């Protein structure tokens, strides 16, 4: 058969070969590009490789570049794409922006230009959601040289939140130098659907990374100081390294302090659990675990703050004999000094570099932001798989931040009272982060709040979890609450134990506390050699700086340059021979490294300058650099010298914690960081004085008293001033005294160590608002803060207008406010007023108020003059309580965790006493506590140390027979009420008793007036507004001398009754609203009267007696306190309820359901517990009595049904009944323990 003539087309098989060659070329370009993106873009590179290329229409631009259109849209200029990219980059000021986030890759010309500008001095971040487009472009255009020369991250917008932290890991030092988002116009439409979420992820991640970087940079010197103070344990103690893999394949359980911990903590106490899984605890939960009989195998510590000591206070060697402390050397040295059990240390790169050939394997773990991260990594280092986490909520489960029993309970306990509850403190702690709160889904799919800080922690956890998941390891989220966590299996702890805790653990060796003397000696010798090198570098830096200074001087001539260059070269050679030591200095002062990087980038990105100008900038940079090295070397020598002394002689006689307090260290470090970032500050001279406003006739609670009353033979004011006179920080004492009052008749000035100035006022130094302040403090007299509207003990002595005038007159810019009847006020040491002044001096312009958490009367508060001027404007917002409190319009972190609060010894902070000589009860307590001690041990009141004063006062509080009738009486007037829903005392069944009679009430009143400080709360099973004589009873009590009256009511009553109660002189009305919506009100009260209650609140608000200010910001009586009982039925209303009433009145209060034991008859609410600490409830049991409407007195305050009646007010004098009741309660405490139901309060 004849064949056809050859075709003009190539044979089919030739075409296939040609296409394959073309695709191979494209693939080669693609692979070069993907390889150049590096490890941090590995997931994105794999996704691009797997994508189907988009169909692009390619052409050649006028400048010769390849350009393309996609879906009929040009991806770059069709004429001059390179020039367009240059213009794009020119719009960014790279001198102040080290990170550029670009929304859209397009054809990559603009990315090429950004990479060329930033190189390794910055970071380019790109969002491109179309992976097919990326593949098509990266097959065609070779970007590998640009990618490989720069730091670049590419995202497609589908990454989980945890991946962002993983991708940005290691870039923190760049992120702190500024970021800019930039739209790529041709990509805007394509990128828009995912740009908002991506931008939020980047913002969150960058914010977290910037915090981490700034903290690390600012605290680098402090961290290394801590590391070297832990050098004895590091050098001569035991490490974690011998335990690597020891628990391979066994279950590890990491225990943290989240609010869900109480759901499953008890399971760890079951027999055999400790023998079958490794329990690793954060330091926060160590004491709660031990209290439950659970001995963790390990507890971890990395916190630099000295406040961490509280987690170990009171531990005995026997308590932690088989619990090993795993110490990160950067932790505050006070931790190792306080821990009485075995200690193992993990690796610290700086110490290893410092020790050189003496370094050994200590066990190196990945870095984390929190101790919980460290615990997780310990579990993995031991070989545990799976690892389960409990108490790791990373969110505010059930409106709680903390699990009960943790250290915060002890911190908050002194603040608790009927107007400040654990529930309130927990929710306030959450709401203070309002600007950083985000909603997520918890493990059950319900909405949960978390905040930016915990988001950062979550991202770091997810980074670890996802990495381990890729390694085939399992992580179980057994928290049973809290946020969802990527890379985990959600499972209950009981299921986890049943599924994995079945094999016995191998023996885990315990570390010895004996130090290796030979290693200590060798390490000291090594550090002395490094010390010598540091001295050489310091001198070389100083000489080089002097030479460089001449280069930049205006009078420099050409002739000396050869000599100066010779000096520089000689000194540079000395430093070059000691680069390892120079790197130690760089780590010690990372701020210096930041300054260098910032200066280098500014020089590199300064366009259009002459070579001479560039050289001048380089000289200036180098001069700053060597001066910084010189300064760092001098500081490092001090740290090395201290470490050498500790290695050679031990810690005896040396400071265990930090030399400066944390705020001084932070101020110094932050100042250095500010200078590095080009921020300037100026010094402020502080002239401090004690200001003592004097009301000759009344104390801070409005109780009549005289300053001539004596304590240990002298007027109380004399003792107060003698103690103040010992100050080393204050210049003078200013007494603000009403005209005509002879204050000098009470004073012996010769005994007072500071000059005394008198500032006279017309009438009382205090304004009319003092009556409202006193009423707000009556139920919280032993709490430093926590009164109604958050008022503090400092507000009892705040007279802003008179104080401001005195400050101006005597040229005082820092006033320490103290009451004249505070004879135990602490002045010297870290617990006293002088410490407030020292703290203020570190940052006078920022720390405008400084305080500590001492009990009332034991320390003053410092207020700076410009702040006092603001307070002098008046109104409820002109108070210390408002400054420290939560206001929805200006949410702020709790000041007790900030520099404005000086940390004090825990024995003072946790005390429940009042050290003010202002009522007969308090005067008796102080006299009986102090005077016998002085007679026994000698000395004077001015010599008593605060710890001794607390011990003496608490002995009187807890161990003596009551001197007077109860300070707080809860009096039930009747048992009827409108509601019977979830919050009602009647929900378990009807309660009926005869009403309180006028005769019985009058008899009670006449027996309580002697102490002058008695307060009454009308409450109980019924609503007091349903008693026909409620207003008359209030007047009877007030007229007789009862100091304060408080009503708890549903406020569903006639307008006549409400008006009569307001006019009666009642001090506070608590409205049991329990809802922020009509629907929730029906669930809580069983009736539909929400609008009536709201209308009546408005009526009371309008009828109040305004003393100062106006509207919601006024000081007015009575106080209105809306309450919400936190239950599952009301939980969803907490947020809106709290912010609404806090904004309107400043008095919103969340309280818990009555704390009955969980029984069939009294089932517990399913929300996480917020029970007050037993110690604070017991303290209230020693000053509170419940009298039911029929005159009976139950043993327990919870017993509204009257099941266990102790006595009857008609049959026994009230004082004797009270003494018998206190004795019985003490007996119950001995027999059943402090936590028993009988000793619980209905409110704190």
- The reported pLDDT for the residue numbered 233 is 93
pLDDT single digits (tens) 511-569:
998 999 999 999 999 999 999 999 999 999 999 888 888 875 444 444 556 777 888 88
Which CATH number is 1049's domain given?
A: 3.20.20.70
Opening angle at CA 1014, ends 1009 and 1017, nearest 5: 125
Closest to 190 in 3D by CA, of 243, 122, 137, 124: 137
Same domain, 1042 and 1108: yes
Residue 221: strand, helix, or coil: helix
For the segment 217-233, the average pLDDT, to the nearest whole number, is 81
Distance CA 317, CA 321 (A): 6
Say what percent of the chain tops pLDDT 90.
65
Distance CA 1068, CA 1061 (A): 10
- The answer to whether 706 and 821 are in contact (CB under 8 A) is no
DSSP 247: T
Same domain, 158 and 35: yes
| Distances from the Cα of 679 to the Cα of 54, 180, 595, 670, 1092, angstroms | 49, 20, 12, 10, 56
pLDDT single digits (tens) 786-821:
999 999 999 999 999 999 999 999 999 999 999 999
Query: Is a pLDDT exceeding 90 seen at residue 973?
Result: yes
Closest to 862 in 3D by CA, of 833, 904, 892: 833
Distance CA 299, CA 292 (A): 16
Distance CA 959, CA 11 (A): 109
Residue 383: strand, helix, or coil: coil
Query: Is a pLDDT exceeding 90 seen at residue 225?
Result: no
- The reported pLDDT for the residue numbered 594 is 65
For the segment 1066-1081, the average pLDDT, to the nearest whole number, is 96
For the segment 1192-1217, the average pLDDT, to the nearest whole number, is 94
The verdict on residue 1019 lying in a domain is yes
pLDDT band (50, 70, 90) for residue 407: confident
Query: Is a pLDDT exceeding 50 seen at residue 6?
Result: no
pLDDT single digits (tens) 88-123:
988 888 777 889 999 999 999 999 999 988 888 889
The structure tokens 């009230």 sit at: 1214
- The reported pLDDT for the residue numbered 206 is 72
Rank 166-170, 775-779, 1157-1161 by mean pLDDT and report only the highest. 775-779
Rg (CA), the chain: 35
Burial of 83 (0-12, 13-18, 19+ CB in 10 A): middle
The verdict on residue 953 lying in a domain is no
pLDDT band (50, 70, 90) for residue 398: confident
Side-chain-facing half-sphere of 582: CA atoms under 13 Å: 18
The pair of structure tokens assigned to 872 is 């002098």
Residue 710: strand, helix, or coil: strand
pLDDT band (50, 70, 90) for residue 1185: very high
Burial of 1235 (0-12, 13-18, 19+ CB in 10 A): middle
The structure tokens 């300037």 sit at: 680
Between β-strands 968-971 and 861-864, what pairing exists: parallel, antiparallel or unpaired? unpaired
Neighbours of 1104 (CB within 10 A): 17
- The reported pLDDT for the residue numbered 4 is 38
Residue 1185: strand, helix, or coil: strand
- The reported pLDDT for the residue numbered 309 is 83
For the chain, what is the mean pLDDT?
A: 88
Same domain, 660 and 699: no
Closest to 511 in 3D by CA, of 237, 698, 866, 768: 237
The pair of structure tokens assigned to 25 is 């070329």
- The reported pLDDT for the residue numbered 13 is 40
Same domain, 582 and 692: no
Closest to 166 in 3D by CA, of 405, 419, 386, 465: 465
Same domain, 1104 and 1208: yes
Same domain, 633 and 722: no
The structure tokens 């004589």 sit at: 1029
pLDDT band (50, 70, 90) for residue 602: low
- What's the domain count of the chain? 5
For the segment 463-483, the average pLDDT, to the nearest whole number, is 93
- The answer to whether 541 and 627 are in contact (CB under 8 A) is yes
Beta strands in 297-426 (DSSP E): 298-301, 324-327, 343-345, 387-390
Rounded to the nearest angstrom, the gap between the alpha carbon of residue 501 and the centroid of all alpha carbons in its chain is 35
Beta strands in 2-55 (DSSP E): none
- The residue that leads in pLDDT, 589 or 635, is 635
Distance CA 938, CA 942 (A): 11
pLDDT band (50, 70, 90) for residue 668: low
The verdict on residue 63 lying in a domain is yes
Closest to 434 in 3D by CA, of 887, 786, 882, 788: 887
Residue 181: strand, helix, or coil: strand
- The reported pLDDT for the residue numbered 10 is 40
The verdict on residue 511 lying in a domain is no
Residue 33: strand, helix, or coil: helix
Which CATH number is 748's domain given?
A: 3.90.550.10
Q: Residue 937 belongs to what domain range?
A: 688-941
For the segment 375-402, the average pLDDT, to the nearest whole number, is 92
- The reported pLDDT for the residue numbered 659 is 45
For the segment 123-146, the average pLDDT, to the nearest whole number, is 94
Alpha helices in 432-492 (DSSP H): 452-470
pLDDT band (50, 70, 90) for residue 17: very low
The verdict on residue 223 lying in a domain is no
pLDDT single digits (tens) 1088-1138:
999 999 999 999 999 999 998 888 788 999 999 999 999 989 988 999 999
pLDDT single digits (tens) 1007-1052:
999 999 999 999 999 999 999 999 999 999 999 999 999 999 999 9
Closest to 1197 in 3D by CA, of 1127, 1150, 1244: 1244
- The reported pLDDT for the residue numbered 1148 is 95
pLDDT single digits (tens) 915-959:
999 999 999 999 999 999 887 777 899 999 999 999 999 999 999
Distance CA 565, CA 1210 (A): 100
- The answer to whether 1123 and 1151 are in contact (CB under 8 A) is yes
Phi, psi of 95 (to 5 degrees): -65, -30
Same domain, 927 and 977: no
pLDDT band (50, 70, 90) for residue 14: very low
| Distances from the Cα of 803 to the Cα of 756, 766, 833, angstroms | 15, 10, 18
| Distances from the Cα of 411 to the Cα of 295, 311, 896, angstroms | 24, 12, 10
The verdict on residue 210 lying in a domain is yes
Opening angle at CA 975, ends 973 and 980, nearest 5: 140
Distance CA 301, CA 305 (A): 11
The H or E element containing residue 1194 is strand 1192-1194
Opening angle at CA 572, ends 567 and 577, nearest 5: 135
Residue 736: strand, helix, or coil: strand
Closest to 323 in 3D by CA, of 387, 355, 280: 280
The pair of structure tokens assigned to 1156 is 């009955």
- The reported pLDDT for the residue numbered 160 is 77
Same domain, 706 and 670: no
Phi, psi of 423 (to 5 degrees): -60, -40
Query: Is a pLDDT exceeding 60 seen at residue 218?
Result: no
The pair of structure tokens assigned to 512 is 């010895």
pLDDT band (50, 70, 90) for residue 780: very high
Side-chain-facing half-sphere of 255: CA atoms under 13 Å: 31
pLDDT single digits (tens) 729-765:
999 999 999 999 999 999 999 999 999 999 999 999 9
Closest to 411 in 3D by CA, of 1172, 1125, 1100, 1110: 1172
Alpha helices in 67-187 (DSSP H): 81-90, 109-118, 131-140, 144-149, 161-168, 172-175
- The reported pLDDT for the residue numbered 1156 is 77
Neighbours of 842 (CB within 10 A): 21
Query: Is a pLDDT exceeding 70 seen at residue 504?
Result: yes
- The answer to whether 827 and 911 are in contact (CB under 8 A) is no
Last residue in a domain, options 162, 179, 214: 214
Phi, psi of 1151 (to 5 degrees): -130, 165
- The reported pLDDT for the residue numbered 178 is 77
Give one DSSP letter per residue of 890-934, joined into a string.
S----GGGSTTB----HHHHT--------SHHHHHHHHHHHHHHH
- The answer to whether 595 and 624 are in contact (CB under 8 A) is yes
Last residue in a domain, options 616, 642, 676: 676
Distance CA 1242, CA 765 (A): 38
Query: Is a pLDDT exceeding 90 seen at residue 434?
Result: no
Say what percent of the chain tops pLDDT 70.
91
For the segment 307-322, the average pLDDT, to the nearest whole number, is 88
| Distances from the Cα of 1092 to the Cα of 273, 1025, 1133, 1150, angstroms | 55, 14, 18, 21
Same domain, 253 and 299: yes
Same domain, 732 and 654: no
pLDDT band (50, 70, 90) for residue 680: very low
The verdict on residue 189 lying in a domain is yes
- The reported pLDDT for the residue numbered 961 is 93
Same domain, 975 and 996: yes
Query: Is a pLDDT exceeding 80 seen at residue 7?
Result: no
- The residue that leads in pLDDT, 219 or 995, is 995
The verdict on residue 221 lying in a domain is no
Residue 1146: strand, helix, or coil: coil
Last residue in a domain, options 214, 230, 254: 214
pLDDT band (50, 70, 90) for residue 213: low
Cα end-to-end distance, the chain, whole Å:
110
Same domain, 477 and 549: no
The pair of structure tokens assigned to 430 is 């959450």
């Amino acid at each position: 058969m004849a064949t056809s003539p050859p075709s003009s087309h190539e044979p089919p098989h030739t075409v296939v070969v040609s296409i394959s060659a073309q695709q191979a070329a494209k693939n080669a370009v693609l692979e070069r590009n993907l390889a150049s993106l590096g490890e941090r873009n590995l997931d994105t590179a794999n996704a691009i490789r797997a994508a189907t290329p988009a169909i692009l229409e390619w052409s050649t631009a006028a400048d010769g570049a390849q350009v393309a259109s996609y879906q009929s849209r040009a991806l770059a200029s069709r004429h001059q794409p390179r020039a367009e990219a240059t213009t794009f980059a020119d719009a960014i000021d790279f001198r102040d922006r080290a990170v550029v986030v670009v929304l859209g890759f397009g054809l990559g010309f603009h990315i090429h230009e950004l990479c060329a500008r930033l190189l390794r001095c910055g970071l380019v971040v790109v969002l491109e959601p179309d992976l097919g487009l990326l593949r098509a472009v990266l097959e065609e255009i070779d970007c590998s040289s640009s990618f490989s020369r720069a730091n670049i991250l590419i995202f497609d917008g589908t990454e989980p939140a945890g991946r962002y932290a993983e991708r940005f890991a290691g870039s923190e030092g760049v992120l702190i130098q500024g970021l800019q988002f930039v739209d790529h116009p041709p990509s805007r439409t394509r990128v828009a659907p995912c740009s908002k979420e991506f931008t939020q992820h980047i913002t969150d991640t960058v914010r977290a990374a910037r915090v981490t970087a700034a903290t690390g940079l600012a605290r680098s010197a402090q961290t290394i100081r801590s590391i070297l103070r832990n050098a004895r344990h590091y050098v001569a103690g035991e490490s974690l390294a011998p335990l690597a893999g020891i628990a391979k394949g066994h279950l590890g359980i990491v225990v943290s302090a989240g609010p869900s911990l109480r759901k499953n903590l008890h399971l760890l106490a079951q027999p055999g659990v400790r023998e079958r899984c490794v329990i690793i605890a954060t330091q926060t939960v160590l004491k709660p675990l031990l209290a439950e009989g659970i001995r963790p195998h390990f507890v971890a510590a990395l916190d630099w703050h000295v406040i961490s000591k509280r987690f170990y206070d009171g531990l005995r060697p026997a308590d932690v004999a088989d619990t090993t402390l795993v110490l990160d050397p950067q932790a505050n040295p006070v931790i190792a000094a306080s821990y009485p059990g075995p200690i193992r240390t993990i690796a610290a790169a700086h110490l290893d570099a410092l020790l050189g050939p003496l370094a050994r394997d200590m066990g190196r773990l990945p870095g984390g932001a929190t101790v919980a991260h460290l615990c997780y990594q310990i579990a993995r280092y031991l070989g545990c798989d799976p690892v389960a986490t409990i108490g790791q909520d990373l969110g505010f489960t059930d409106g709680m931040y903390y699990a009960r029993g943790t250290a915060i309970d002890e911190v908050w306990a002194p603040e608790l009272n009927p107007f400040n509850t654990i529930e309130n403190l927990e929710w306030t702690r959450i709401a203070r982060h309002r600007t950083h709160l985000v909603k997520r889904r918890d493990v059950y799919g319900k909405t949960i709040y978390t905040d930016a800080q915990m988001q950062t922690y979550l991202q770091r956890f997810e980074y670890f979890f996802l990495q381990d998941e890729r390694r085939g390891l399992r992580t179980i989220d057994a928290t049973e609450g809290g946020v969802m966590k990527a890379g985990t299996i959600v499972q209950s702890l009981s299921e986890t134990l049943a599924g994995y805790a079945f094999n016995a653990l191998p023996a885990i060796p315990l570390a010895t506390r004996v130090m290796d003397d030979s290693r200590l000696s060798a390490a000291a010798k090594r550090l002395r050699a490094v010390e010598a090198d540091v001295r050489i570098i310091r001198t070389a830096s100083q000489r080089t700086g002097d030479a460089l200074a001449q280069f930049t001087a205006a009078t420099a001539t050409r002739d000396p340059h050869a000599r100066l260059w010779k000096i520089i070269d000689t000194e540079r050679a000395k430093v070059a021979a000691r680069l390892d030591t120079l790197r130690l200095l760089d780590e010690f002062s990372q701020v210096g490294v930041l300054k260098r990087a910032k200066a280098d980038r500014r020089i590199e990105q300064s366009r259009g300058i002459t070579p001479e100008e560039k050289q001048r900038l380089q000289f200036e940079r180098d001069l700053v650099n060597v001066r910084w090295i010189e300064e760092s070397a001098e500081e490092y020598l001090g740290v090395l010298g201290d470490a050498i002394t500790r290695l050679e002689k031990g810690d005896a006689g040396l400071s265990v914690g930090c030399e400066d307090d944390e705020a001084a260290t932070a101020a110094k470090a932050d100042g250095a960081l500010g200078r590095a970032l080009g921020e300037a500050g100026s010094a402020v001279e502080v002239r401090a004085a004690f200001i003592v406003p004097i009301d000759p006739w009344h104390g801070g609670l409005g109780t009549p008293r005289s300053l001539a009353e004596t304590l240990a033979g002298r007027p109380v004011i004399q003792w107060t001033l003698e103690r103040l006179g010992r100050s080393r920080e204050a210049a003078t004492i200013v007494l603000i005294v009403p005209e005509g009052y002879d204050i000098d008749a009470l004073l012996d000035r010769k005994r007072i160590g500071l000059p005394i100035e008198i500032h006279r006022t017309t009438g009382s130094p205090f304004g009319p608002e003092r009556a409202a302040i006193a009423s707000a403090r009556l139920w919280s007299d032993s709490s430093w803060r926590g009164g109604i509207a958050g008022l503090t003990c400092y507000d009892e002595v705040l007279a802003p207008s008179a104080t401001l005038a005195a400050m101006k007159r005597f040229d005082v810019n820092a006033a320490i406010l103290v009451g004249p009847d505070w004879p135990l006020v602490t002045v010297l040491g870290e617990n006293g007023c002088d410490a407030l002044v020292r703290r203020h001096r570190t940052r006078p312009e920022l720390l405008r108020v400084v305080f500590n958490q001492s009990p009332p009367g034991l320390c003053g508060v410092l207020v700076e003059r410009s702040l006092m001027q603001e307070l002098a404007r008046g109104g409820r917002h002109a108070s210390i309580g408002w400054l420290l409190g939560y206001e929805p319009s200006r949410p702020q972190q709790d000041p007790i965790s900030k520099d404005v609060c000086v940390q004090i010894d825990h024995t003072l902070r946790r005390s429940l006493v009042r050290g003010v000589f202002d009522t007969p009860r308090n005067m008796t307590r102080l006299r009986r506590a102090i005077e016998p001690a002085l007679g026994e041990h000698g000395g004077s009141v001015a010599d008593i140390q605060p710890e001794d004063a607390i011990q003496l006062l608490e002995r009187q509080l807890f161990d003596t027979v009551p001197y007077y009738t109860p300070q707080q009486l809860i009096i039930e007037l009747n048992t009827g009420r409108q509601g019977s829903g979830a919050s009602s005392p009647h929900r378990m069944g009807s309660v009926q008793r005869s009403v309180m009679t006028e005769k019985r009430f009058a008899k009670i009143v006449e027996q309580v007036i002697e102490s002058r400080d008695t307060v009454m709360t009308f409450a109980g099973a019924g609503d007091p507004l349903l008693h026909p004589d409620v207003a008359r009873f209030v007047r009877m009590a007030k007229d007789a001398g009862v100091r304060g009256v408080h009503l708890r009511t549903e406020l569903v009553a006639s307008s006549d009754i409400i008006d009569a109660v307001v006019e009666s002189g009642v001090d506070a009305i608590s409205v049991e609203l329990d809802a922020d919506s009509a629907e929730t009100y029906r669930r809580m009260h069983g009736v539909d009267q929400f609008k009536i209650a709201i209308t009546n609140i408005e009526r009371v608000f309008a009828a109040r007696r305004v003393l100062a200010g106006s509207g919601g910001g006024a000081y007015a009586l009575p106080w209105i306190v809306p309450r919400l009982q936190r239950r599952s039925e009301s939980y969803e209303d907490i947020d809106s309820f709290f912010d609404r009433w806090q904004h309107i009145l400043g008095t919103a209060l969340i309280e818990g359901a009555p704390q009955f034991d969980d029984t069939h008859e009294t089932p517990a609410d399913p929300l996480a517990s917020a029970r007050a600490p037993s110690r604070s409830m017991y303290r209230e049991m020693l000053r509170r009595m419940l009298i039911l409407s029929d005159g009976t007195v139950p043993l327990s305050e919870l017993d509204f049904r009257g099941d266990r009646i102790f006595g009857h007010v008609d049959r026994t004098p009230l004082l004797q009944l009270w003494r018998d009741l206190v004795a019985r309660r003490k007996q119950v405490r001995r027999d059943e323990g402090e936590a028993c139901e009988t000793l619980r309060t209905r409110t704190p």
